[in-house]
Chains A and B, each alone.
Chain A
Amino acid sequence: MDILIRRSEKLPSGDVTTLEQALENATLDIGSALDQPLRLADESVAERHASITLSGGRIQLACRRDCSVSLDGQPVRKATLAPGDVLLVGDHRLTIVSPPTGFDLAVEVSREGKSGAPPASFRRTRLTDTWLAPRATAWVLSLAVLLLALAAPLAHHLLERRAPVETAAVTNGSEEEQAIAAVADAALNEPDDSAGWLGLLGDSLWSSGPLHDSHAALEDDCGACHEKLFQRVTNASCERCHAGTVDHVSARAAERNAHLSPIMNGRCASCHREHDEPSTLVNRSSALCTDCHANGALSDGHETMAPVTAFGTDTHPGFDVTLPRPPREPGGEWTFETLPLVGASESSGLRFDHAAHADGEVMGRADGQGLGCADCHVARSDGEHFEPVAFETNCATSGCHQLELDRNHRIPHGMPDVAVAAIEGFYLREFGHPDAERTAAFGIDRRRRPGRGTSDDERFDCDASNFDCALGLAARKVEQQFTRTGCVTCHLVESSGEPAGDTPDSVTLPFVVAPVRLADDFHPAARFDHDSHGVLVPPGGGRAATEDRACLHCHEADASTRSEDLLMPEIDTCTDCHDGLSRTANVPLGCVDCHGYHPASSPFRTGKDS
């Protein structure tokens, strides 16, 4: 059939254009697809929506599945049409008109809907018609963020006037004075709050997390550490307060260690990271140490270190021990020698038998018990070191070594010449009385020495004057003390090579007592916590060793009879429980569990003799 399609389009100008199109086809298919003879560019029209056929002079409309058109306001799917009928298909109005000559069917097509303005009460039917303003919202919020989170902190930083800082202003004086001066310096250099209203908002919005409690006072003072923009926190910032802190053995001597990695030559912040949660402040990672120390033959030009990869068997070298060595000449200084622990021996200047003191029978104490470790070794509050063992506080207590001459007289300890004078004085007093017998009745020496059943004193006959007899008796006593029993029991005594001689002014001793010094810290480069080792449980479980048994597990004092015996445990005692990083029947140790990166330098830390 011959079909005429007449399309009317309303132009924006208001004019209407009409386009006529003639085609010959069996049916007039209507749809939005491009191949449809009557194509309606309309999203609410299906690709194939409906078709119109002419059968027996009747115009038949048939819609496809799920489609319908509106005929006189009613949705229909099938209909017989007559000229004058108006179909609404989506937005389009299709009017069937009487076909002109030569045509079987004529359809006028016009766009519907847009022209008819919706009722006034339908003004706001889209979200775009409401107060919602996404663009404005975006810009206002963005501007607020820019102001609060960029402009304000930046203004605060730039406007903040910080007094120039003199690092470590006190260059003389002890480390303690320097540290205190540095803290005072930092306190005086409080930032000035004349930073303007924008700056007053502060720069805390840039903080990525809270500071460690020890730095809490700096929480609102970012500039204390972040001094320049785009510059990482410098060591100088840290040293404004931590002026007394000494770096790692190698880090300071830059010219000597230029070859070392930047971490070694170091940024404080490499290990001390702030703004983390939970705050650790100290990076305890062993890798920070073993990155360098795992290498063989690490040397700083003076000493060569064996490689360390972890604490455990074959991964950590055997222990060294630092021991005091007596001065080479009288009156000289003690020196310290660091040497491998295996085979080392002490030279404290004393004789001491740990085993005997721990033996109840030898001690002969009323309770039949030997001495316990803590009877002499009292731990200090640091948990690592012990109060020095001293004659007065440890040996002379409990009436063991009182150095008695009689009930009222004792030989003073620690000063040989005074002791000699005291002995002479004692005998002069005894014999100086006009009625004193020439023959001394002995029994005056009642010094009690555990382990010695009888007195060394012998009968002493004297025909000389009382004075000479007294001196003679005193000389014998002195000789006995320094060579046989008494001083020499615990001290190393040598002959001075000079004859004994007395003047009213001075006493000359024929003996020299070796100087005494007990080691206070065998491992000055390491830490150890005796408190946490007071209960020792065998790896994998079992009966715990406590108190003295815990001490003796590592320090074999019950088998030591000589003071030269070094009672410090070797590394395998430690690796029984601390062997590598395994957490099964093992307690893993990191480097910083025993070692400090910063050599002992704190004015508040004591007991390190390095």
Chain B
Amino acid sequence: MHTGILEYRRARWLRLSLVLVAASIALYVTQDPDTPPNGGTWQGYTLGGVGATLIVWLSLLGVRKRRYRSTLGGTVAGWTSAHVYLGAGLIVIATLHSAGQLGWNVHSLAYVLVCLVVVSGFAGIYLYASVPRKSLENRDGRSRDALLAELGELDERGRQLAALCGADIAAAAQSAIRRTEVGGGVVSQLRRRDRSTLNIVAEGTPSFVENRDQKRILALIAARVPAATRSSEVNTLQELLSVMGRRQSVVRRLARDVQLDALLRIWLYLHIPLTVVLLFTLAIHVLSTFLYW
């Protein structure tokens, strides 16, 4: 469903964008060969005007998609398809307008911002095309809230079972449940960093040890099963092991879901703010051109 925007109406916007790019190149090469091509010839001004119009229109997608049910200019799917292809074409038009003349000035800043925004958009297309399927597979069709609810139930069951075990296992299991961490900062979310810990009592001193992927708590419980003397204790430990095992699976899915969700959105944190900066820079670029005509 997310790649539908690329094939929208047999890629009509791809074809339009290619025509626009071809026309821009044709316009560019008509510039007087006796002077270096630049943004100040009539062809350069035309390319700049087309580029600026595109930038403003492309950024209007942010407004349009918030009015999803509007019928203005077609569906949001159509807008997004046009956004993708015309945005890709913009990078060519902006390059032709700049004619490769870059320096430490506001004009080149606008160009670099265009490039950053468009390239981050490319990243977005790739992520939108690849991540949602993985995300759906990972959650097995359920929502994150459902996973969290399931985890909540398992946590509760785990705590109850742990309370029936020996004091050390009870403390370890309950701290492992309490100290399971998913998500965190930007890097932790993106890299699926697992900072889970648990509390064990070693030689009378409590200490925190890492419990990455819940492996340590599972190993701890499993190690206790053969040492159990009463059959009821064995049953309880085995049931706890089963609950903690299912818990591990749910935590893995949640951690992966957090990572995929972050991946799906991280590019927007570049794309959107830089678009806003670009709009201001573009205005200054145009204004300063005529201030110092």
- Which residues does A use to contact B, with CB under 8 Å? 42-44, 46, 66-68, 70, 73, 75, 88, 90-91, 112-114, 116, 118-119, 121-127, 129-132, 134-135, 137-139, 141-142, 145-146, 149-150, 153-154, 157, 203-210, 222, 226, 229-233, 273, 275-278, 280, 283-287, 590
B3 interfacial contact with A, CB 8 Å? no
The residues of A that contact B281 with a CB separation of less than 8 Å are 145, 149
B272 to chain A, nearest CB (A): 5
- Whether the pair A149, B109 counts as a contact (CB closer than 8 A) is yes
The residues of A that contact B269 with a CB separation of less than 8 Å are 127, 132, 134, 137
- Whether the pair A145, B145 counts as a contact (CB closer than 8 A) is no
- Whether the pair B292, A206 counts as a contact (CB closer than 8 A) is yes
- Whether the pair A44, B142 counts as a contact (CB closer than 8 A) is yes
Known: A42-B143, A75-B140, A138-B273. A277 touches B36 (CB 8 A): yes
- Whether the pair A206, B101 counts as a contact (CB closer than 8 A) is no
- Whether the pair A285, B276 counts as a contact (CB closer than 8 A) is no
Q: Which of B145, B154, B184 contacts A124 (CB 8 A)?
A: B184
Some 14 contacts from A to B, beta carbons below 8 A apart, are A70-B150, A88-B146, A112-B149, A113-B145, A116-B149, A118-B148, A125-B261, A127-B262, A134-B268, A142-B276, A209-B101, A275-B38, A285-B34, A285-B35
Interface 9-mer from B87-95, B122-130, B224-232, B282-290: B282-290
Cα of A284 to Cα of B36 in the assembled complex, Å: 11
B203 interfacial contact with A, CB 8 Å? no
Cα of A392 to Cα of B195 in the assembled complex, Å: 102
B155 interfacial contact with A, CB 8 Å? yes
B49 interfacial contact with A, CB 8 Å? no
Q: Which of B36, B182, B196, B266 contacts A278 (CB 8 A)?
A: B36
The residues of A that contact B265 with a CB separation of less than 8 Å are 127
Cα of A42 to Cα of B38 in the assembled complex, Å: 55
Nearest residue, chain B, Cβ from A278: B36
B181 to chain A, nearest CB (A): 5
- Whether the pair A43, B143 counts as a contact (CB closer than 8 A) is yes
The residues of B that contact A124 with a CB separation of less than 8 Å are 183-185, 189
Cα of A44 to Cα of B137 in the assembled complex, Å: 11
Nearest residue, chain A, Cβ from B257: A125
- Whether the pair B178, A121 counts as a contact (CB closer than 8 A) is yes
Cα of A226 to Cα of B105 in the assembled complex, Å: 17
The residues of A that contact B38 with a CB separation of less than 8 Å are 208-209, 275-276
Cα of A384 to Cα of B144 in the assembled complex, Å: 86
Q: Which of A130, A203, A276 contacts B36 (CB 8 A)?
A: A276
B216 interfacial contact with A, CB 8 Å? no
The residues of A that contact B178 with a CB separation of less than 8 Å are 119, 121
Q: Which of A130, A273, A280 has the largest number of chain B CB atoms within 10 A? A: A130
Q: Which of B32, B143, B186 contacts A113 (CB 8 A)?
A: B143
- Whether the pair A233, B277 counts as a contact (CB closer than 8 A) is no
- Which residues does B use to contact A, with CB under 8 Å? 32, 34-36, 38-40, 101, 103-107, 109, 139-146, 148-155, 157, 178-186, 189, 196, 246, 254, 258, 261-262, 265-266, 268-269, 272-277, 280-281, 284, 287-293
B200 to chain A, nearest CB (A): 18
Cα of A122 to Cα of B273 in the assembled complex, Å: 27
B152 to chain A, nearest CB (A): 5
Known: A142-B280, A273-B40, A590-B34. A73 touches B141 (CB 8 A): no
Cα of A207 to Cα of B102 in the assembled complex, Å: 11
Q: Which of A132, A145, A286 contacts B277 (CB 8 A)?
A: A145
- Whether the pair A130, B186 counts as a contact (CB closer than 8 A) is yes
- Whether the pair B39, A208 counts as a contact (CB closer than 8 A) is yes
A549 to chain B, nearest CB (A): 34
The residues of B that contact A126 with a CB separation of less than 8 Å are 183, 258, 261-262
Nearest residue, chain A, Cβ from B153: A73
Cα of A150 to Cα of B106 in the assembled complex, Å: 9
User: In the complex, given contacts A229-B291, A276-B36, what are 11 additional A-B residue pairs having Cβ atoms less than 8 angstroms apart?
Assistant: A66-B141, A88-B149, A123-B183, A130-B189, A134-B269, A137-B269, A138-B274, A149-B106, A150-B287, A207-B103, A208-B107
Cα of A278 to Cα of B182 in the assembled complex, Å: 56
Q: Which of A67, A119, A129, A206 contacts B106 (CB 8 A)?
A: A206
The residues of A that contact B287 with a CB separation of less than 8 Å are 150
- Whether the pair A125, B277 counts as a contact (CB closer than 8 A) is no
Cα of A205 to Cα of B272 in the assembled complex, Å: 24
Cα of A146 to Cα of B246 in the assembled complex, Å: 55
A589 to chain B, nearest CB (A): 13
- Whether the pair B183, A113 counts as a contact (CB closer than 8 A) is no
Cα of A288 to Cα of B104 in the assembled complex, Å: 32
Cα of A165 to Cα of B19 in the assembled complex, Å: 52
The residues of B that contact A232 with a CB separation of less than 8 Å are 293
- Whether the pair B186, A132 counts as a contact (CB closer than 8 A) is yes
- Whether the pair A150, B262 counts as a contact (CB closer than 8 A) is no
The residues of A that contact B274 with a CB separation of less than 8 Å are 138, 141
Cα of A44 to Cα of B142 in the assembled complex, Å: 5
The residues of B that contact A135 with a CB separation of less than 8 Å are 273
- Whether the pair B105, A284 counts as a contact (CB closer than 8 A) is no
- Whether the pair A125, B183 counts as a contact (CB closer than 8 A) is yes
Nearest residue, chain A, Cβ from B149: A113
- Whether the pair A125, B284 counts as a contact (CB closer than 8 A) is no
- Whether the pair A44, B105 counts as a contact (CB closer than 8 A) is no
Nearest residue, chain A, Cβ from B187: A130
B59 to chain A, nearest CB (A): 11
Known: A121-B180, A130-B185, A134-B269. A116 touches B288 (CB 8 A): no
Cα of A122 to Cα of B107 in the assembled complex, Å: 45
A267 to chain B, nearest CB (A): 11
Known: A43-B143, A44-B141, A141-B277. A208 touches B34 (CB 8 A): no
